[in-house]
């Protein structure tokens, strides 16, 4: 690849052809956590070719700015307390646009299949016999940890990792087995339940001093990181006005952040 070759041309060279978003097709793609550098090349190809881009609130404006000039942007999410588009309404819209022959990019924050209702949308497209393709994205749970210099897995520390949604349809979810698993937990959508869920985890036996962190607006210009022991996390978040979107990570892996940051600083000096 020469320096003048675009990333898209380089992709085409490896695949014998550029991925084509055909009329009447839907690509259900992840937009990553925010930073456009974390988009996949296939998602970028979708952005450049789509006639209509149906996107969620958490898709970063810098990513949307990569859309082709022919593309119409349609917002399908929550905004300013107004009622959000219903899931049925969104899938019906995708089906209608595809049936009209549009090239449709359905763009979701992070990865479309991680707490993003991508599965529901894919099933609706399959049921309607709309040709579609799934393009994974970098999920915020992993991107936020990397941005905060917290290793998701570390040999000798954890052999598994739990991804959990703090908010969901089943709000009587039993957190006790998760607390007792002895594994790091990466929480999505938990900021409004942080007090309650940290209390449940402590009651279930997690040590009060378990290291924990909040990474808000990861990989965006508003990124903020807060580190505190589990028992103090909710109060510290309140005092420092931490707001969604945020990832909360609880577990010994958080303790490696200072060491990683120290090593990064040393490596840069050399
Ligand atoms: C509906 S879920 C969608 C998750 C998305 N599909 C993914 O894979 O990242 C929304 C939650 O993702 C997390 N999130 C998304 N983008 C984020 C970011 N840039 N920084 C921190 N958390 C983020 C927050 O927990 C937010 O409440």
Domain ranges of the chain: 7-138, 141-260
170 is catalytic: no
Locate all alpha helices (DSSP H) within the chain, ordered by sequence.
7-15, 41-49, 61-64, 87-99, 118-127, 140-147, 176-180, 194-203, 230-239, 257-269
Give the angle subtended at the CA of 22 by the CAs of 69 and 112, to the nearest 5°. 80
Q: Express each pLDDT in 177-188 by its tens digit.
A: 999 999 999 999
pLDDT higher than 70, residue 270:
no
Q: Which of 63, 219, 206, 196 is nearest to 141 (CA)?
A: 219
Q: Express each pLDDT in 78-124 by its tens digit.
A: 664 556 788 899 999 999 999 999 999 999 999 999 998 999 999 99
Calculate the average pLDDT of the chain. 91
Q: Express each pLDDT in 33-78 by its tens digit.
A: 999 999 999 999 999 999 999 999 999 999 999 999 999 999 997 6
78 is catalytic: yes
Q: Express each pLDDT in 126-168 by its tens digit.
A: 999 999 999 999 999 999 999 999 999 999 999 999 999 998 6
Burial class (CB within 10 angstroms; exposed 0-12, middle 13-18, buried 19+) of 11: middle
**What number of other Cβ atoms are within 10 A of residue 240's Cβ?**
12
CB-ligand 1 contact for 111 (6 Å cutoff): yes
Q: What does the DSSP 8-state code read for residue 67?
A: S
- Side by side, the strands of the sheet bearing 246-250 are 162-165, 185-188, 246-250, 211-216, 224-229
CB-ligand 1 contact for 188 (6 Å cutoff): yes
CATH pick for 7-138 out of 3.40.50.150, 3.30.70.20, 3.10.520.10, 3.40.1010.10? 3.40.1010.10
Q: What is the CATH T-level fold of the domain 141-260, as seen in this structure?
A: 3.30.950
pLDDT higher than 50, residue 1:
no
What's the 75 CA to ligand 1 centre distance in angstroms?
A: 17
CB-ligand 1 contact for 249 (6 Å cutoff): no
Does this model's pTM top 0.85? My answer is yes
């Amino acid at each position: 690849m020469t320096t003048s070759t675009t990333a898209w041309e380089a992709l085409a060279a490896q695949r014998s052809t550029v991925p084509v978003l055909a009329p009447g097709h839907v690509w259900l793609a992840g937009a990553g956590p925010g930073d456009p550098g974390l988009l996949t090349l296939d998602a970028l190809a979708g952005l450049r070719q789509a006639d209509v881009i149906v996107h969620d609130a958490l898709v970063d404006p810098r990513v949307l700015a990569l859309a082709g000039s022919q593309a119409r942007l349609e917002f399908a999410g929550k905004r300013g307390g107004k009622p959000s588009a219903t899931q049925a309404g969104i899938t019906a819209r995708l089906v209608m646009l595809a049936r009209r022959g549009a090239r449709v990019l359905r763009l979701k924050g992070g990865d479309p299949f991680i707490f993003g209702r991508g599965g529901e949308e894919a099933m609706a497209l399959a049921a309607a016999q709309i040709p579609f393709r799934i393009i994974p994205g970098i999920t915020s749970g992993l991107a936020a940890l990397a941005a905060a210099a917290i290793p998701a897995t570390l040999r000798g520390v954890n052999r598994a990792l739990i991804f959990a949604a703090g908010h969901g349809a089943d709000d009587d979810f039993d957190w006790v087995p998760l607390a007792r698993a002895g594994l790091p937990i990466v929480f999505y959508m938990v900021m409004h339940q942080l007090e309650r869920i940290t209390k449940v985890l402590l009651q279930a036996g997690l040590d009060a001093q378990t290291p924990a962190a909040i990474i808000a607006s990861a990989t965006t210009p508003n990124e903020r990181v807060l580190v505190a022991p589990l028992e103090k996390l909710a109060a510290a978040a309140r005092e420092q006005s931490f707001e969604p979107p945020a990832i909360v990570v609880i577990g010994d892996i958080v303790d490696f952040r200072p060491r990683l940051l120290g090593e990064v600083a040393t490596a840069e000096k050399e």
